[in-house]
Chain A
Amino acid sequence: MSGSEVISRLKRDYIYNLMLKGEREDGRQFDELRDIALETSIIDKAEGSAMVQYGDTQVMVGVKMQVGTPFPDSPAEGVIITSMELNPIASPDFEAGPPREKAIEMARIVDRGIRESGAIDINKLCITGGEEVWMVFIDVHVLNNSGNILDAASLGAIAALMTTTVPSEREGKGEDYSMPVREMPVGISLIKIGDEMVLDPTYGEESVCETRIAISSNQDGSICSMQKSGSGSLTPAQVVKASKIAKEKGEIIREKYLLEI
Chain B
Amino acid sequence: MSDKPERFIDDEGLRLDGRRVDEIRPMKVEMGVLSRADGSCYLEWGNNKVLAAVYGPRELHPRRMQKPNEVLVRYKYNMASFSVEDRIRPGPSRRSTEISKVSGEAFEPVVMTQYYPGAVIDVFAEVLQADAGTRTAAINAATLALADAGIPMKGLVSACAVGKVDGQLVLDLNKPEDNYGQADLPVAMTQDGEITLLQMDGHLTPEELEEGLEMVKKGCQQILEIQREALVSRYGNEDEEAEEESPEEVPESEEEEEEEERDDSFDNEESEAENADENDVTEEDEGEEDERQ
Mark A residues whose CB is within 8 Å of B: 1, 13, 16, 72-73, 75, 101-102, 104-105, 107-108, 112, 115-116, 192-194, 208-211, 213, 218, 221-236, 239-240, 243-244, 247
* CB <8 Å contact, B198 and A231: no
* CB <8 Å contact, B217 and A223: no
Q: Which residue of A lies closest to B194 (CB)?
A: A233
Within 8 A of A (CB), among B191-234: 193-206, 209-210, 213-214, 217
* CB <8 Å contact, B202 and A232: no
Given that A225-B200, A227-B199 are contacting pairs, would A101 and B213 also be in contact in the complex, using a CB cutoff of 8 Å?
Answer: no
Given that A101-B97, A108-B98 are contacting pairs, would A228 and B197 also be in contact in the complex, using a CB cutoff of 8 Å?
Answer: yes
Given that A226-B200, A230-B105 are contacting pairs, would A101 and B100 also be in contact in the complex, using a CB cutoff of 8 Å?
Answer: yes
Given that A13-B289, A101-B101, A229-B105 are contacting pairs, would A243 and B198 also be in contact in the complex, using a CB cutoff of 8 Å?
Answer: no
Bound: A234/B203 CA distance, A: 21
Interface residue count on the B side (C-beta < 8 Å): 37
Mark B residues whose CB is within 8 Å of A: 1, 67, 94-95, 97-98, 100-102, 105, 108-109, 185, 190, 193-206, 209-210, 213-214, 217, 289-290, 292-293
Bound: A102/B95 CA distance, A: 12
In the assembled complex, the CB of A131 is this many whole angstroms from the nearest CB of chain B, namely: 15
In the assembled complex, the CB of A237 is this many whole angstroms from the nearest CB of chain B, namely: 9
* CB <8 Å contact, A243 and B290: no
Instruction: Tell me which of B97, B198, B293 contacts A239 (CB under 8 A).
Output: B198
Given that A73-B1, A233-B196 are contacting pairs, would A240 and B213 also be in contact in the complex, using a CB cutoff of 8 Å?
Answer: yes
Number of A-B contacts (CB under 8 A): 114
* CB <8 Å contact, B203 and A227: no
Bound: A224/B202 CA distance, A: 5
In the assembled complex, the CB of B43 is this many whole angstroms from the nearest CB of chain A, namely: 23
Bound: A13/B287 CA distance, A: 11
* CB <8 Å contact, A116 and B194: no
In the assembled complex, the CB of B99 is this many whole angstroms from the nearest CB of chain A, namely: 10
Residues from chain A with Cβ under 8 Å of B293 in the complex: 192-193, 208-211, 230-232
In the assembled complex, the CB of B167 is this many whole angstroms from the nearest CB of chain A, namely: 12
Other A-B contacts than A228-B102, A229-B105, 17 sampled, CB-CB below 8 A, are: A16-B289, A108-B95, A223-B209, A224-B202, A226-B185, A227-B199, A229-B102, A230-B105, A230-B293, A231-B105, A232-B108, A233-B109, A233-B190, A234-B198, A236-B217, A240-B209, A243-B209
* CB <8 Å contact, B206 and A236: no
Residues from chain A with Cβ under 8 Å of B196 in the complex: 228, 233
In the assembled complex, the CB of A42 is this many whole angstroms from the nearest CB of chain B, namely: 27
From DSSP, what is the main secondary structure of chain B's interface residues?
A: mixed
Given that A101-B98, A221-B205, A240-B213 are contacting pairs, would A227 and B289 also be in contact in the complex, using a CB cutoff of 8 Å?
Answer: no
In the assembled complex, the CB of A211 is this many whole angstroms from the nearest CB of chain B, namely: 5
Residues from chain A with Cβ under 8 Å of B194 in the complex: 233-235
6 A-B contact pairs sorted by A residue (CB < 8 Å) = A211-B293, A222-B204, A225-B200, A226-B185, A240-B210, A247-B206
Bound: A193/B292 CA distance, A: 9
Residues from chain B with Cβ under 8 Å of A244 in the complex: 206
* CB <8 Å contact, A104 and B198: no
Residues from chain A with Cβ under 8 Å of B202 in the complex: 116, 224-225
Residues from chain A with Cβ under 8 Å of B201 in the complex: 112, 115-116, 224-225
Residues from chain B with Cβ under 8 Å of A115 in the complex: 201
Bound: A229/B213 CA distance, A: 17
* CB <8 Å contact, A227 and B200: yes
In the assembled complex, the CB of A209 is this many whole angstroms from the nearest CB of chain B, namely: 5
* CB <8 Å contact, A104 and B94: yes
In the assembled complex, the CB of A99 is this many whole angstroms from the nearest CB of chain B, namely: 8
Bound: A189/B178 CA distance, A: 26
* CB <8 Å contact, A226 and B199: yes
In the assembled complex, the CB of A261 is this many whole angstroms from the nearest CB of chain B, namely: 24
Residues from chain B with Cβ under 8 Å of A75 in the complex: 1
Bound: A243/B185 CA distance, A: 14
Residues from chain B with Cβ under 8 Å of A247 in the complex: 206
Residues from chain B with Cβ under 8 Å of A112 in the complex: 201
Residues from chain A with Cβ under 8 Å of B289 in the complex: 13, 16, 208
* CB <8 Å contact, A235 and B195: yes
Bound: A104/B98 CA distance, A: 7
Given that A112-B201, A116-B201 are contacting pairs, would A227 and B102 also be in contact in the complex, using a CB cutoff of 8 Å?
Answer: yes
Q: Which residue of A lies closest to B100 (CB)?
A: A101
